[in-house]
């Protein structure tokens, strides 16, 4: 539990007096506000913004806006004292739980990926203990001070903000990690060889920190458990499917000139162990179906690549040195291409140009080094990009913005915001600048 008592000369928030000790004598009329949440922390919030507001929605005093650390279950519930204003005007409490990576330059949370609650303090002539709750069912629904509305957890929609009521004890409030929809779903049944089961759970799809620019707004997503191939589809597996008559089309053949677009296609030659590339999504999907599988959705791919509920930026964590961790930036160097055109070598940044030994050119087989998730999935950040089941669509597209605050096993198959309904790939690849 975290307790907070602030001191303000205006006697609005905290205790009065010239110092930081309460006056002796009978307790003054005041509120003790206790805040609880059912959110999983720190996944959905590690900072708590508390504001004491006047009837206009502005902070009622200089010390009436505080930021607290709230990233551990031990930090909850949060409590603090509030004294009535000298004018006797009504006061409001607004609490916002959010993640540090959503902190704006103004020191306040940005975006809508947080939980807010607004409530009015009741009249009191004694010390009154009242509760305010931050419900995950209200994730992403802002409180509106001008309209005096706050999310109703029963509907997930804005409703008139309520007057806070007295609580008997802290046990009357929500506890961290108690949201029913957010509980992990373990895998059941046998997982086929060469696959890894990813337990289901809830996470934020998208993010404010991204190099792609197509990841906002974030969406709260719940996924059922699913199995994913440990490695990318190999040339050997695809060749066997062709021999078995399970599929009737082939990847693009390798061009003999490595400077050409298809100069690194892997299907031809003694490349059984290599991952297969130069295939369109129809062929990729057919290969999955022929094995009794399917393409993952964009949400499933991101959940797995970000280590599920840890929501890391990369499979290995947060280190931005992708050259050191993934197979990216490994194109032909200028010398290898025997070219004087400097642009020919722009994708070789991670091969060790100028060193005695260059890293391999093209995709690789087997060991992924650090490009490995907690579940053991390999090469999701580099080597080859993966086809997913979704169409290319911005996260503002209607298919990502269905009714309700929680998307369950979503897939966006038809785009209204992209120039054409082309398919989506996720992840980096060997012939790609470091990101």
C-alpha–C-alpha distance, residues 29 and 27, integer Å = 7
Averaged pLDDT, 216-245 = 96
Contacts of 358 (CB under 8 A, 6+ apart): 333, 351, 352
Percent of the chain's residues with pLDDT above 90: 68
Q: Which residue is it, tokens 């999983």?
A: 40
Residue 18: the pLDDT is: 27
Tokens representing residue 27 in the block = 């307790």
Structure confidence at residue 343 (pLDDT): 47
247 pLDDT exceeds 90? yes
- Residue 344 scores a pLDDT above 90: no
pLDDT of residue 245: 96
The CA radius of gyration of the chain, in Å to the nearest whole number, is 27
Please give the average per-residue pLDDT across 422-433, as a whole number: 84
Asked if the model's pLDDT at residue 156 lies above 70, the reply is: yes
pLDDT (mean) for 154-177: 96
Rounded CA separation 313/406 (Å) = 22
Residue 8 has pLDDT above 70, yes or no: no
11 pLDDT exceeds 70?
no
- Mean pLDDT for the stretch of residues 204-227: 81
Average pLDDT value for the chain: 87
Length of the chain: 435
Structure tokens at 403: 């009714």
Take residue 416 and report the two structure tokens written for it.
């209204």
Tell whether the torsion through CA atoms of 352, 365, 286 and 294 is positive or negative. negative
Per the structure block, which two tokens stand in for 61? 């005093």
Burial of 351 (0-12, 13-18, 19+ CB in 10 A): buried
CA–CA distance, 184 with 202 (Å, rounded to integer)? 8
What confidence tier does 217 reach under pLDDT thresholds 50, 70, 90? confident
Q: Which pLDDT band, with edges at 50, 70 and 90, does 4 fall under?
A: very low
The answer on pLDDT for 6 being more than 50 is no
Quick one: pLDDT at residue 317? 96
Which of 368-377, 389-398, 422-431 reaches the highest mean pLDDT?
A: 368-377
Distance separating alpha carbons of residues 56 and 70, to the nearest angstrom: 28
Tokens encoding 251: 């990847």
Query: Residue 126 and residue 340: Cα distance in Å, rounded?
Result: 83
- Please report which confidence band the pLDDT of residue 402 belongs to, taking 50, 70 and 90 as the band edges: confident
- The string of pLDDT tens digits covering residues 264-321 is 899 998 999 999 999 999 999 999 999 999 999 999 999 999 999 999 999 999 999 9
Of residues 211 and 130, the one with the higher pLDDT is 130
pLDDT reported for residue 342: 44
pLDDT of residue 397: 84
- Tens of pLDDT along 364-386? 998 899 999 999 999 999 999 99
If you average pLDDT over residues 152-160, what whole number do you get? 96
Residue 334 has pLDDT above 80, yes or no: no
- CB 81, CB 11: distance < 8 Å: no
| 3-state SS record for the chain | CEEECCCCCCCCECCCCCCCCCCCCCCCCEEEEEEEECCCCCCCCCEEEEEEECCCCCECCCCCEEEEECCCHHHCCEEEEECCCCCCCCCEEEEEEECHHHECCCCCECCCCCEEEEEECCCCCCEEEEEEEECHHHCCCCCECCCCEEEECCCCEEEECEECCECCCHHHCCCCCCCHHHCCECCCCCCCCCEEEECEEEEEECCCCCCCCCCCCCEEEEECCEEEECCCCEHHHHHHHHHCCCCCCCCCCCCCCCCCCCCCCCCCCCCCCCECCCCCHHHHHHHHHHCCCCCCCHHHHHHHHCCHHHCCCECCECCCCHHHHCCCCCCCCHHHHCCCCHHHHCCCCCCCCCCCCCCCCCCCCCCCCCCECCCCCECCCCCCCEEEEEECCCCCCHHHCCCCCCEECCCCCCCCCCCCCCEEEECCCCCCCCC
* pLDDT tens digits, 18-58: 233 445 556 789 999 999 999 999 999 999 999 999 999 99
Task: Output the pLDDT for position 359.
Answer: 80
pLDDT score for 228: 98
Question: What pLDDT was estimated at residue 427?
Answer: 93
Confidence (pLDDT) at 20? 36
**Mean pLDDT to the nearest integer, 114-121:** 98
pTM score, whole prediction? 0.88
Structure confidence at residue 104 (pLDDT): 92
Average pLDDT over residues 402-409: 84
pLDDT at 12 over 50: no
Q: The tokens of 424 are what?
A: 């989506």
Over residues 113-139, the mean pLDDT reads 97
């Amino acid at each position: 539990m975290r307790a907070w008592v602030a001191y303000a000369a205006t006697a609005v928030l905290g205790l009065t007096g010239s110092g930081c000790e309460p006056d002796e004598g009978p307790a003054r009329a005041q509120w003790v506000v206790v805040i609880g949440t059912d959110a999983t922390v720190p996944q959905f919030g590690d900072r708590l913004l508390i504001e004491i507001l006047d009837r206009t929605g502005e902070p009622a005093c200089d010390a009436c806006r505080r930021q607290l650390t709230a990233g551990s279950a031990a930090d909850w519930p949060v409590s603090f004292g509030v004294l009535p204003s000298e004018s006797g005007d009504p006061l409001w409490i607004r609490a916002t739980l959010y993640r540090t990576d959503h902190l704006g330059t103004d020191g306040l949370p940005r975006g809508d990926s947080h939980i807010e609650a607004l409530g009015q303090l009741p009249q009191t002539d004694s010390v009154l203990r009242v509760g305010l709750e931050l419900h995950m069912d209200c994730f992403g629904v802002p409180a509106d001070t001008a309209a005096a509305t706050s999310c109703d957890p029963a509907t997930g929609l804005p409703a008139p903000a309520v007057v806070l009521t007295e609580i008997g004890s802290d046990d009357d409030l929500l506890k961290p990690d108690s949201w029913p929809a957010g509980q992990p779903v373990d895998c059941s049944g046998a997982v086929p060889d060469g696959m890894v089961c990813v337990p289901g759970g809830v996470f934020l799809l998208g993010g404010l920190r991204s190099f792609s620019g197509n990841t906002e707004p974030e969406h709260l997503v719940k996924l059922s458990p699913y199995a994913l191939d440990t490695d990318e589809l190999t040339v050997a597996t695809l060749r066997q499917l062709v021999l078995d008559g399970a599929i009737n089309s082939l990847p693009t053949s390798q061009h003999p000139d490595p400077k050409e677009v298809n100069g690194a296609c892997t299907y031809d030659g003694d490349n059984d162990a290599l991952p297969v590339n130069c295939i369109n999504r129809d062929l990729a999907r057919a290969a999955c179906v022929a094995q009794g599988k399917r393409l993952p959705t964009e949400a499933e791919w991101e959940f797995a690549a970000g280590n599920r509920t840890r929501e890391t930026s990369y499979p290995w964590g947060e280190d931005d040195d992708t050259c050191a961790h993934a197979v990216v930036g490994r194109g032909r160097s200028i010398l290898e291409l025997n070219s004087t055109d400097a642009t020919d070598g722009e994708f070789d940044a991670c091969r060790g140009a100028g060193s005695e030994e260059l890293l391999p050119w093209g995709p690789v087989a087997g060991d992924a080094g650090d490009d490995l998730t907690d579940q053991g999935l390999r090469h999701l950040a580099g080597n080859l990009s993966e086809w997913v089941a979704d169409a290319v669509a911005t996260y503002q597209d209607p298919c990502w913005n269905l009714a309700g605050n929680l998307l369950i096993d979503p897939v966006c198959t038809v785009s209204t915001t992209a120039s054409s309904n082309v398919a989506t790939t996720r992840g980096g690849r060997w012939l790609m600048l470091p990101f």
